[in-house]
Structures are given as C-alpha cells and as structure tokens.
Amino acid sequence: MSTAMGLHGIPDDILELILLHLDSPICLVRASSTCKRWRHIVAGTVFLQRFRSLHEPPVVCSYRNNRLVKSRPDYEPSPSKSPATIDSRYLSLDFLPVNFKGCWNIRDSRGSVLLLDREYIREAYSRDTDMFVCEPLTRRCQLIPRLMASPAEYRTEAFLLRGAEDIDMSNFRIFYMYQPTGIAGIFTSKTGSWRRLSIYVHGMHHLGFAAGSTYWYNTNWISTVYALDHNTAEYSSFLLMLPDVGNNVDEPFFNICSRLGVTTGRDGKARILFLGADDNLKIFIATNKGSHGGSECVVEKSIQLSPSMLGVHQNCSIVSVETVCTVQIFVSRGSTEPPAWFSLDIETKELQPMTNTSRSTGFPIKLPWPPTMHACTVHS
C-alpha cells in the first residue's frame, strides 16, 4: 500500500495529527483553505477542541485609550514568534467612524473582542453613550442596545463576563452597572437582550476580579462584600467585619476602599484583603458557614508590614491584580519623597519593589477562536 503517494493522499486521522502540530490558528486557517477535505477536518468540533487544548490562541495586539476626540484607540502589535503575523490594517480599527464630537473608549477586552463605548454631548449637561462590541480582525462591530432608555447615570461600570468558553462575536456577555444607583444587567449575545439583576446596591465600590468573580464593597447599611460569579452571572454577598473600622465610623468610605482588595489564592479560592492603618494586612476568606450562621468573610491570617519593609511612609493603599496570591501596595511618602509600589505575595510574604513600566497594562486581544469554519462554502 505504500506506493509512491504524495502526502495529500494521507488518511484523515493522520492528517489530523499533522494539523494538530501547527502552532497557530493563522496556520490552521491557511491550511483549511487548501482543499475541501482539509477544511472539513479543521471545521470538526472535536478537532477544534483538541487544537484549542494544545494551543492557547496567541495575543495579537494590545489597545490603549488615548482619549482624543476624532481619534481611535492606539494599538501595539505583540511581538510574535510565529512566522505569520497580522497585518496592521486588521488591527487599526479603521472601520470605527470618528466623525463626531466624542471619543472612543475601550472598557474591556476578552478573547478576540473589545468592549467599547463612545460618549457624546447631546446638549449642555446631557451626554449619550453608545456601547459596542467589536472584533478587530474580522472588522465586525455590533451596537449594544441600552440597558435603560434614559438613566440618571453618573458613571457606569462595564466589562465582558468570563466563562469556560472562548469569547468572540457570537459568544459574549456584558455586565453593565449604573453608578451610583447600582442598577445593573447582563447582556447575552445569544439572546441579544438584557437581563436586569435583582439586587442593586447604591454606591458599590469595585475591588477587582478573583477566582471567577468580580468583587465590590459597600457599607451603606452594613459592611458587605458582593461577588458576581461570572459563570452563573449571579450575585452573592458576604458580611465583612473590618477590625479597626467598626469602631471608627468617621473613617471616609473612600479611605476604606483604597485599602481593600482581592486576589486568588493558590487553592483557587478568592481572598479579600484589608490593609489596616497600622499596616496590618488582614486576609479574609468568604464562606457560607460563618460564625453568625450566614455568609461572611472570616480572617484566615494576617501579615504585619513595617517601615523596615516599606520604608518610612505616611499611608498605604492596595491595588488588586490578577496574579495569583498577589497584591500591589502603593506607599505614599509625603510631598518631598516620591511614592513607591510594591508587589506582595500573601503566601510567601515576599515583597518586591516595582517599577512604573511593570504596572501598565492595555487591552489585549487574541486570535478569534474557534475560527468559525464553514466546511463547504460553495460560491457559484
């Protein structure tokens, strides 16, 4: 049987093995153009899943808001090791119109898509905001209907929900919240409609993302942490007893918030962090079996920071990052000394000074995955 056949005569299962060794979706898309049989294999659900499990879609580009009127966000292609890189005209967002009195503002990025809005002044003291989801590489853009027709919005919070699946134009969910009312909803691309969340709390303070949920803090009624699970798109709430705040009702809300954060522990569970005025970092874990019989945050441990570690300072605040087990600490040293940034591992207690460059992040996008392949496109 092994006569002098070319490689194109290879059986399907061996061809699959070969295609699985292609290291980038770009090569895969090109290979799928080769012939009908190859296209058919590449379009297979099982094949796509296997390919995806072997090759994480690469980041192709990172965007940055420049806040300029009549301008589009800046972009910076990723340095790529792959022989195939994306031509800049597919990254430049040149399909977004710029002929209006407003500017494009990226709110979030996830998978191959950007969540952005443009705000424009309708008349004095009246602003309108249109929100879009766009996929730069396929030059597609979708206007998202408004959650509320005429909200009394002061500012808004918007992000793309993360889940187990890859996110692209046909599969995304948006969380949107009006501040300070706390009225919020989830938009699902599959239904093309909003679902209003039943809980809304005035003045939610965003803490960050950890262990599959976004966290907020609020102390209107009683000191509480709210968590939105990105998979179920539902809230849960936990009481949070802060040690030196309970007695000090005069402490401004913002001061407390600036010393709260979240991170994901190495066990995959979320930790809520509070840096007290005495530089004592309390690490809480949210549980449904608290000592009061309900959902609350219980202290897991604490780390005492000192001037010998942070330098002589006036006060500290913390910033949540998505690195596991890590929190950033901002140290202000008064008007004469420059401030300092540190990164703290809450398990090993390792404290690293940081430079400005290592803190900046843009909005990265990845190659669309799965590439929505059409097994047999016949154009006559």
The one among 150, 247, 356, 377 contacting other proteins by CB under 8 A: 377
| Shortest Å, Cβ 91 to other proteins | 9
d(CA 7, CA 15): 9
Tell which positions 210-229 bind other proteins, by CB under 8 A: none
Q: Is 13 in the site for other proteins (CB under 8 A)?
A: yes
d(CA 17, CA 229): 37
Gap between the terminal Cα atoms of the chain? 37
CB 264, CB 258: distance < 8 Å: no
| Shortest Å, Cβ 134 to other proteins | 13
| Shortest Å, Cβ 31 to other proteins | 6
Answer positive or negative: Cα dihedral of 13, 14, 16, 17: positive
Q: Are strands 351-354 and 213-218 parallel, antiparallel or unpaired?
A: unpaired
Q: Is 278 in the site for other proteins (CB under 8 A)?
A: no
Please say which residue, 155 or 379, places its beta carbon nearer to other proteins. 379
Q: Is 31 in the site for other proteins (CB under 8 A)?
A: yes
Please say which residue, 22 or 309, places its beta carbon nearer to other proteins. 22
Q: Is 1 in the site for other proteins (CB under 8 A)?
A: yes
Please say which residue, 89 or 292, places its beta carbon nearer to other proteins. 89
**Quick one: tokens of 242?**
């802060």
> Which stretches within the chain are classed as H helix?
12-20, 25-33, 36-42, 45-54, 253-257, 307-310
The one among 12, 21, 71, 121 contacting other proteins by CB under 8 A: 21
| Shortest Å, Cβ 10 to other proteins | 7
Specify the stretch interacting with other proteins by CB under 8 A; choose among 3-11, 49-57, 178-186, 347-355: 3-11
How many other CB atoms sit within 10 Å of the CB of residue 283? 19
| Shortest Å, Cβ 148 to other proteins | 36
Q: How far is CA 334 from CA 114, 354, 373, in A?
A: 39, 19, 58
Please say which residue, 140 or 195, places its beta carbon nearer to other proteins. 140
Specify the stretch interacting with other proteins by CB under 8 A; choose among 35-43, 175-183, 223-231, 258-266: 35-43
Q: Is 375 in the site for other proteins (CB under 8 A)?
A: no
Q: Is 378 in the site for other proteins (CB under 8 A)?
A: yes
Tell me the three state secondary structure of residue 171: strand
| Shortest Å, Cβ 366 to other proteins | 12
Q: Is 137 in the site for other proteins (CB under 8 A)?
A: yes
What region, left, alpha or beta, does residue 67 occupy, with left being phi > 0 and alpha being psi -120 to 50 degrees? left
Q: Is 81 in the site for other proteins (CB under 8 A)?
A: no
Q: How far is CA 47 from CA 18, 27, 54, in A?
A: 12, 15, 11
Q: Is 54 in the site for other proteins (CB under 8 A)?
A: no
How many other CB atoms sit within 10 Å of the CB of residue 282? 21
| Shortest Å, Cβ 190 to other proteins | 22
The one among 54, 69, 84, 143 contacting other proteins by CB under 8 A: 84
Q: How many CA atoms lie within 13 A of 158 on its CB side?
A: 23
- Name beta bridge partners: 315: 332
The one among 12, 17, 121, 349 contacting other proteins by CB under 8 A: 17
Q: Is 379 in the site for other proteins (CB under 8 A)?
A: yes
d(CA 365, CA 116): 13
Q: Is 53 in the site for other proteins (CB under 8 A)?
A: no
Which residues are CB-neighbours of 311 under 8 A, at least 6 positions away? 331, 333, 340
Please say which residue, 54 or 68, places its beta carbon nearer to other proteins. 54
Q: Is 90 in the site for other proteins (CB under 8 A)?
A: yes
The one among 46, 53, 79, 87 contacting other proteins by CB under 8 A: 87
| Nearest alpha-carbon partner for 180 in 209, 218, 125 | 218
- The residues of the shown chain that bind other proteins, judged by CB under 8 A, are 1-2, 4-11, 13-14, 17-23, 25-27, 29-36, 39, 83-84, 86-87, 89-90, 137-138, 371, 374, 377-380
